[in-house]
Structure 1
Amino acid sequence: MDVEFYRILEEKKSTVAKRWLDAIMASYPNDKSGFLMNQGDQFSNPVGYTFTTGVTGILDVIAKGEDFGESISFLEDIIRVRAVQDFTPAKAMAFIFQLKTIVREELVPEIRQNQVYIDLLEFESKIDDLALTAFDIYVKCREQIFELRTDELKRMTFSLLKKANLVSEIPVQESEQEDQK
């Protein structure tokens, strides 16, 4: 990729980051008070903090022209939050594709002026790769959530059966002797 594209992206990075963060926060219709956007404290507003640091971290890496491998931890943090919320997979991942639109809208005049269309296409290809990685992370997070729910359901069921005296525990020594037979 041409260095010119990254220079332009670096110049507009704070505007792109703000717009991208606004787009993410807009997916939370119940936040009419603006709490997620206005509270920047890590402890008062961990979700807003995670999104702010994540967006900034991802854009820092991308604006340097580096592979997004370094931004994976930022991406994982955002995806973990969105995976536990009541979003469809498409809605949870949509924020990544919104970055393409935001970059196009913010950089188009400079891109046209400097003739770096090919670089924009390569950048958008990187965003597509980032989205695929994000989807993998999302699926793993959802699998963990379902495993936790299943394990909790098993524990609750066993506990209820035990309280109803419908199940008795086999002492460890007996179960070991049966296994040796």
Structure 2
Amino acid sequence: MSVHRQDPAGRAGEDAGNDTGLKLDAYLPYRLSVASNAVSGLIARAYQDRFGLTIPQWRLVCVLAEDGGLTQGQIVARTVMDKVTVSRAAQGLVKRRLVGRAEHHADGRSHVLDLTAEGRRLYAEIAPLALAYEAALIAGLAPDEVALLKRLLARLQTAAGALAGDAVAGPPA
């Protein structure tokens, strides 16, 4: 039995879904995911082995080091991680006394998270390692290629946000 379908370009045809021309290794979302997983996996092993941190915990520490005290909602928006991931990361960091939790003066339902002195010491130790990994990863790229890559990634993130209907489509602030 033949099935009539439209391909993404709007062309109708028999069994159009069977021969779309999609090749996984050439499919940009797949390539981005594979590259992201490879980089995250490499760095996650270093943070876990040396500092006992997960990637979400590292991101939370980094955001708090850069921005100061934030609510979990602000961290969700800044990191584009989901609420549960941020909550679990925060709980682990509070338990280790790397992050402190204080009541939010304007909103009694939320708390402000901030690095403790120990958390700031840990960040000061990890930040140079993170920068060294970045330098090693981009060592084969020219500076203009790195700048172009960053611009293109920001544009892809903005486009994905717009397609998803996000009110603020674009890279985290």
Between structure 1 and structure 2, the one with the greater Rg is 1
Range of TM-score over shorter length: 0.3 to 0.5
